[in-house]
C-alpha cells in the first residue's frame, strides 16, 4: 500500500516534537506522504482521564529525564521550556488556517513552532509567540490573527480533535499507517520496519 501516514501531535508534547523532526524523512524514504494533524491533548485527556506527565508523581520526574535523553539519542536539539506544558489552541488554529491556503507552508510552520518552543523557549501558547514564529516564514501577522479568530478555522480545529478521538488517538505523537496505530516517538523504528515490509 502507498497510502498517506496520518501524524497526530500536540505542539506542547516533547515526544511529538521529536517524532515531528523525523517523520517526513522516514515517510519520504518509503514513498509515503505525511498528513499532519495537530491536536489538543487537553481535550483528549477529558475523554481518557489522563493528565499531563509533569502532573504525575514519579512518572513526571522520569519523563523530564527521558525527554532530554531521547532527544540526544535521536540527535536532535532540545531545551526544556521554562513553561511546560502549555495550551496550544492558538498554534493549532494557526496551522489549520494556513493549511487551507498552503499545506506545505503549514508543515513548515508546525516544525518552526515546535523548534521555537522546545529549543528556543518561545511561548507559543500566546498569539504574540505564534506571530513571532510565523514572521520568520514570511507569514503576515494580521492575516494570521484574523485566521486564528475565524469561526471556520475554529470549527476545523474542533472537528480534527473529535475525529482524532473517534480514531482512537489518545497521545502524542500518534501515527496511523495503513490502519495500524503507533503511539510514541519510541515507535519510530517499528514504523520504519512497517513501512519497509508492509507490515509485520
pLDDT recorded at residue 200: 85
CATH of the domain at 103: 3.40.30.10
Higher model confidence: residue 92 or residue 1?
A: 92
Locate cell 496511523: which residue?
A: 176
- Whether 12 contacts 41, CB under 8 Å: yes
* 126-152 tens-digit pLDDT: 999 999 999 999 999 999 999 999 999
Residue range of the domain that includes 49: 5-197
Nearest to 73 by CA among 111, 31, 18: 18
Tell me the C-alpha to C-alpha distance, in Å, between residue 84 and each of 46, 118, 122.
19, 10, 11
Indicate the helix (H) or strand (E) that contains 8.
strand 5-9
Q: Is the peptide bond between 165 and the residue preceding it cis, with omega within 30 degrees of 0? A: no
Q: Place 1 in a pLDDT band, splitting at 50, 70 and 90.
A: low
H and E: helices and strands count for the chain: 9, 4
The CB density around residue 137, as the number of other CB atoms within 10 Å, is: 12
* 149-184 tens-digit pLDDT: 999 999 999 999 999 999 999 999 999 999 999 999
Is this model's pTM higher than 0.85 or not? yes
Q: Count how many domains the chain has.
A: 1
Amino acid at each position: 500500500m502507498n497510502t498517506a501516514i496520518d501524524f497526530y501531535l500536540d505542539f506542547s508534547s516533547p515526544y511529538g516534537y521529536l517524532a515531528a523532526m523525523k517523520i517526513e524523512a522516514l515517510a519520504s524514504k518509503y514513498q509515503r506522504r505525511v498528513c499532519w494533524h495537530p491536536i489538543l491533548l487537553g481535550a483528549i485527556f477529558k475523554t481518557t482521564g489522563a493528565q499531563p506527565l509533569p502532573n504525575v508523581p514519579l512518572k513526571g520526574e522520569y519523563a523530564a529525564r527521558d525527554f532530554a535523553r531521547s532527544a540526544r539519542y535521536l540527535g536532535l536539539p532540545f531545551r526544556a521550556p521554562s513553561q511546560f506544558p502549555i495550551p496550544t489552541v492558538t498554534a493549532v488554529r494557526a496551522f489549520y488556517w494556513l493549511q487551507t491556503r498552503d499545506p506545505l507552508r503549514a508543515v513548515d510552520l508546525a516544525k518552526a513552532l515546535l523548534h521555537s518552543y522546545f529549543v528556543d523557549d518561545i511561548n507559543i501558547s500566546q498569539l504574540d509567540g505564534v506571530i513571532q514564529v510565523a514572521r520568520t516564514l514570511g507569514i503576515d501577522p494580521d492575516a494570521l490573527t484574523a485566521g486564528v479568530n475565524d469561526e471556520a478555522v475554529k470549527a476545523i480545529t474542533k472537528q480534527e480533535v473529535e475525529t482524532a478521538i473517534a480514531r482512537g488517538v489518545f497521545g502524542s505523537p500518534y501515527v496511523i499507517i495503513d490502519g495500524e496505530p503507533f503511539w510514541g516517538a519510541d515507535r519510530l523504528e517499528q514504523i520504519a520496519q512497517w513501512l519497509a515490509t508492509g507490515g509485520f
